[in-house]
Structure 1
Amino acid sequence: MNTLTGTISAIDSDGSLCLVDIEVAGQRTMSALVVETPGRCPWLHQGNKVEVLFKETEVSIARNLSGDISLRNRLPATVAAVRSEGMLAEISLDFAGQQIDSIITSRSARRMELQVGDRVEWLVKANEISLSG
């Protein structure tokens, strides 16, 4: 499980859904879509510190991505390690000094020719992120 620490910078609520913006790694913003309301969740308030959690299998990797995309979380990183065994590859990324791991197919890793030191972007959908206060 990937874990980052951040500070809630904004909350948009609609019924029992909240779109929460979190500042991580020195002013980078991530967004999480959570089924909670600030009234039911004591830590869900602007300015509070939270843990941002997401599975390695939910992290996509892109290189030379251009144009608009619906994913709210699109963040820069550098490939730190590539381990491929069988059908799956584990890609470790350096994101502002913090490790983010991604599990993708070995076929995708080979097609992308991922190498240590490559500059990439990692992406994760807002609904795949969990927050913990």
Structure 2
Amino acid sequence: MNTIPAKIINIKKENNVAFVKLQDKYKNIFSVLMLDFDKQNIDIGLECNIIFKESEVMVAHTQSVNLSARNKFEGKVLNIEEDSIFARISFDFYGMTINSLITQEAKKELNINIGDSFIWFIKSNELMLQY
């Protein structure tokens, strides 16, 4: 699991669904789509962790800028672990490591190498809050 500490800065609620904006200490903004929001005990100012599976992190070349994903960040590739099916790509994110698990086929098509800069992104509905 990837984990990023952040603080809730905005909540937009409609019925039982909320679109929550969070900010980390480096001023990066994250968006989280939360279902069954009425069952949650959260509010603006709450410090929590944003957590997400490495299998949900997608990767793109830095020239690929038009995406519907709200959570899009650039990072340098720190490490690549490979087997015959998967490649685990590790990105630097302000001293934290974000991992993405992609297929070998995708890694080869994108020509990902250690030291390269790539965009990593994740859809709002794939993020969870830990508080």
Give the TM-score normalised by the residue count of structure 1. 0.92
Q: Which moved more, 1:64-73 or 1:109-118?
A: 64-73
1:53 aligns with 2:51: yes
Q: How does 1:1-133 map to 2 (within 5 A)?
A: 1-37=1-37, 40-42=39-41, 44-133=42-131
Contact preservation (8 Å) 1:90, 1:102: yes
1:107 positional shift:
1.1
Q: Identity over aligned residues, as a percent?
A: 28
Cα distance in 1 between the residues matched to 2:20 and 2:36:
10
2:76 match: secondary structure: strand
State the 4+ residue runs in structure 1 displaced beyond 2 angstroms: 39-42, 64-68
Tell me, yes or no, if the aligned pair for 1:79 and 1:119 is still in contact at 8 Å.
Answer: yes
Gaps of 5+ in 1: none
Question: For the aligned residues, what is the CA RMSD?
Answer: 1.3
User: Match of 1:69, SS?
Assistant: coil
Asked if the contact 1:25–1:96 (Cα under 8 Å) also holds between the matched residues in 2, the reply is: no
Count of aligned positions: 131
Write the letter of the residue equivalent to 1:23.
Q
Query: Partner amino acid for 1:41?
Result: Q
Q: CA shift at 1:118, angstroms? A: 0.7
- Is contact 1:11–1:21 with CA below 8 Å preserved after alignment? yes
Measure the CA separation in 2 of the matches of 1:15 and 1:66. Answer: 34
**Shift in Å, 1:67:** 4.6
Within 1, Cα distance between the matches of 2:91 and 2:65? 23
Gaps of 5+ in 2: none
CA distance in 2: counterparts of 1:30 and 1:67, whole angstroms? 17
Distance in structure 1 (CA, Å) of the matches to 2:104 and 2:36? 37
Distance 1:36 1:12, change over 3 A: same
- TM-score normalised to the size of structure 2? 0.93
| Alpha-carbon distance in structure 1 between the residues aligned to 2:25 and 2:71 | 13
Between 122-131 and 62-71, report the one with greater CA deviation: 62-71
